[in-house]
Structure 1
Amino acid sequence: MAESPQGRRIFLIGFNKCGTTSFHDFFKANGISSVHWRANTLAMAIHRHLHSGHRPLLDGLDQWTAYTDMVCIPGSPWENSNSDGHPLVEACRCFRDLQASYPHSLFILNTRDPMAWVRSRLKHDQGRFAEAYRRALAPIGVQNDAQLVHHWLQEWHEHHAQVLAHFRFQTPQDFLLFHIDHTPHDELFNFLEPHFPLTSRLFPHHHRSPSGG
């Protein structure tokens, strides 16, 4: 298995429903130890450490090389929740703090058409994801799908602008913008291969549908 050289890690810093499972499987196929979501615990650890001042951010969950789908939705996993009462966390937005904790790591902004992303999120887990997200945002006035979509799109554009501005000047060589529908896969391979030997050049596609799932 390809371990992280000199502690170098790979962080997927786009939102969920943007190919996170495909990236996770791609990393594993190439012997890169990877973790995906882990039933909220990645995001919960980052949130806890960030707000307590504890560093590094993934202390206790730092045995992997690649980190994908770092989100915590209160009430999930459904029927077996470990996150009731926990804040909503989109830990991909903590990319600056992750870079400070793990210098020289690689950051991939996985992205797609934002309206396709919204449709996929609304459908995710038969609508339970969106329902739980609405409940978490109810204190700030999000009460229906239209308001939820507005919030998601606002977060989307803010996050993308912040990531692109940051990496334009801070270690641009450690950053890749990867549109899951349009970026040639060779760009991903060329980004990773100087640091991690790739044995599989097949990028899988999971959870895709013509309607954007």
Structure 2
Amino acid sequence: MNPPPASPARLPRVVQIGFHKCGSRSFEQLFERAGHRVLKHKVRGPFGQRRNAARLMRDNLRAGRKIFAGIEDYTFYADINYHTETDSFEPIFHFREMLRDYPDTILLLNVRDREDWIRSRLRHGHGEFAQRVMRQKGLTSLDAVAEQWRQDWDRHLADVRAFMAERPGQLVEFDIDRGSAQELVARFAAYGLKAEDWGDIGRTRGVKRHPLVAWLKRTWAHLRPRRTT
């Protein structure tokens, strides 16, 4: 009897380490439509409960476990963050630990024009997200929030580029404003992605809504119950 064929080697995981509001949903669609498992924001536990993936990653680091312990069976990790009224954790800043624990990981640094990104983040959730960050960090104005984000952006991109200078094969930097889908697909040739699956998903700039609908969405964004811990 002939032995069964060997299983193909598992593709390295790809982790998005660019900021929220930089095309995350478009990247998710690209990988999902190619048949890859994608982890975004929350993960379902063994008893059906849903848990914030970023908080799980923080708990792993604090307990001395590998950063993706319990959520290792995915190919693409995107838009994972944790923000409450008093607490936050953004795994994108922990790319060093990702590579320490999983040395073959490929990092995707997704970027766009920085000031456009800040304006988009300020509008996110009809302004509720920025208000929450302001309370969380004890900032006194939206201008202070914007300046904090500006500093975070510059520092993070500089840190990633410096650290990955000796590992160029494991960093894919993609500008969603200037890069082409064909270029992106070519950088991930082994993953079977298709350029036609790339799209500008989640974009709200220029969307016109009935005033009542707009008011209801804005009011719900600011008043809906949220975790405080």
Q: How many residues align?
A: 193
Q: Which has the larger radius of gyration?
A: 2
The equivalent residue for 1:49 is: 60
Match of 1:6 among 10, 28, 47: 10
* TM-score under structure 1 length normalisation: 0.84
3-state SS, counterpart of residue 176 of structure 1: strand
Query: Secondary structure of 1:6's match?
Result: coil
- Offset at residue 210 of structure 1 (A): 4.8
Shift of 1:135: 1.4
1:109 is aligned to 2:105: no
Q: Is the 8 A contact 1:40 1:70 kept in 2?
A: no
Equivalences for 1:20-169 in 2 at 5 Å?
A: 20-38=24-42, 41-54=52-65, 56-75=66-85, 87-138=87-138, 142-169=139-166
Q: What is the CA-CA distance between 1:208 and the residue it aligns to?
A: 2.3
Unaligned residue ranges in structure 1 (runs of 5+) = 76-84
TM alignment of 1:182-197, pairs within 5 A: 182-193=178-189, 195-197=190-192
Q: Where has structure 1 moved over 3 Å in runs of 4 or more?
A: 3-7
Aligned-partner SS, 1:178: strand
Query: Corresponding residue for 2:213?
Result: none
Distance 1:93 1:105 in 2: 15
The yes-or-no answer on 1:17 pairing with 2:21 is yes
Unaligned stretches of 5+ in structure 2? 1-6, 43-49, 207-229
Structure 1 vs Structure 2 CA RMSD: 2.0
Partner of 1:207: 202
Q: Is the 8 A contact 1:30 1:200 kept in 2?
A: no
CA contact (8 A) 2:134 2:145 kept: yes
In structure 2, what is the Cα distance between the partners aligned to 1:5 and 1:41?
A: 29
Show CA shifts across 1:95-136 (max 9, x none): 111111112121110010011101111111111111111111
Q: Name 2:174's counterpart in structure 1.
A: 178
Percent sequence identity over matched residues? Answer: 27
Letter in 2 for 1:68: A
Find the aligned partners of 2:99 and 2:8 in 1 and give their Cα distance: 15
The SS at the match of 1:168 is helix
Give, in angstroms, the shift of residue 28 of structure 1: 0.3
SS in 1 for 2:110: strand
Look up the SS of the partner of 1:61 in the other structure: coil
Instruction: Write the letter of the residue equivalent to 1:108.
Output: L
